[in-house]
Amino acid sequence: MFGNYLIGLREGLEASLVVCILVAYLVKTERRDALRPVWLGIGIACALSLAFGALLEFGSQELTFEAQELLGGSLSIISVGLVTWMVFWMKRTARHLKAELHGKLDTALAMGTGALVATAFLAVGREGLETALFVWASVRASGEGSSAPLAGVLLGIATAIVLGYLFYRGAVRINLAKFFRWTGAMLVVVAAGVLAYGVHDLQEARFLGGLNDRAFDVSTAVPPDSWYGTLLKGVFNFQPDPTVLQLTVWVLYLVPVLVLFFAERGRGGPAGTPARACDPSDAKPAG
């Protein structure tokens, strides 16, 4: 559940910051008439993300077991690639997100309502589709049949929405550079587990070999149904009996990605520079 909460919080906060900046800019420039198409674009993006998640969940159930595993493994690997790219991208551009969105909004305002809808849709839709895909892959990796994974991601998104609103009202300040650095690192660890499980799916689909070549088996010491086994599974997607290929892929992804992530310095200022999502001087509350 923790991994899914982290996904919902991280991706939801990215979308919340985008919405916060868009709304604050339009209010500041006294273009409240442009708020309606912005909210329309956001609504369409949310609806599309939900539809995409439902398609993944219910559409895959109609497939054979091998086809389900092949689809699940392939999408898990794709989702890990997307999340990894987004983690590095947000770490580099968090400080410049506000200026970038202002430039896009200036262009959209000049082009009309359709461009405003598209700007809001693209800004939020990317995070929404990415979240739907990664959550689906993460839930498959966790192997939980309960509603806990869904509750976790919904709680994370709800937290992100509240933080976004508080940012807009100027009620909170947070060092976004540090936030995205440390949540990004935790998300890389979660992604490593999803990647390993995706490889296992491909092995079960007979697309990759080595399904019976176990790297180790600590099921006796860490029973999957124990509280600590469940905790390790929920947080790190830990598997007590991984295959050699799973363990190899996990190490080859986690170690170099974390090294690169912490070695890379954010552009545009020294590490740890406080960043603000929505400056209260930019806009007064929308009422």
Long-range contact pairs involving 141-144 (C-beta distance under 8 Å, separation at least 24): 141/76, 141/193, 141/194, 141/196, 141/197, 141/198, 141/237, 142/3, 142/4, 142/233, 142/234, 142/237, 143/233, 144/1, 144/233, 144/234
Structure confidence at residue 235 (pLDDT): 67
Amino acid at site 7: I
For 129-171, the DSSP string reads HHHHHHHHHHHHHHT--SSHHHHHHHHHHHHHHHHHHHHHHT-
Mean pLDDT of 139-165: 76
CB of 286 within 8 A of CB of 175? Answer: no
Tokens representing 272 are 């740890």
pLDDT above 70: residue 151: yes
CB of 190 within 8 A of CB of 141? Answer: no
pLDDT above 90: residue 245: yes
Largest separation between any pair of C-alpha atoms in the chain: 65
Mean pLDDT of 64-73: 86
Structure confidence at residue 271 (pLDDT): 43
pTM to 2 decimal places? 0.71
Write down the number of H helices and E strands in the chain: 9, 0
* Tens of pLDDT, residues 176-225: 677 778 888 888 888 898 899 889 999 999 899 888 899 988 988 888 77
Mean pLDDT of 153-165: 86
CB of 184 within 8 A of CB of 261? Answer: yes
252 confidence band (pLDDT: 50, 70, 90)? very high
Going by C-alpha positions, the residue among 12, 45, 43, 47 that lies closest to residue 131 is: 12
Mean pLDDT of 148-170: 81
CB of 243 within 8 A of CB of 211? Answer: yes
Of 6-15, 126-135, 154-163, 165-174, least confident by mean pLDDT is 165-174
Beta bridge partner(s), residue 223: none
Give CA–CA dist 22/120, Å, rounded: 8
Residues 6+ apart with CB under 8 A from 111: none
Give CA–CA dist 153/50, Å, rounded: 13
For the chain, what are the domain ranges? 2-263
> How many other C-beta atoms lie within 10 A of the C-beta of residue 227?
8
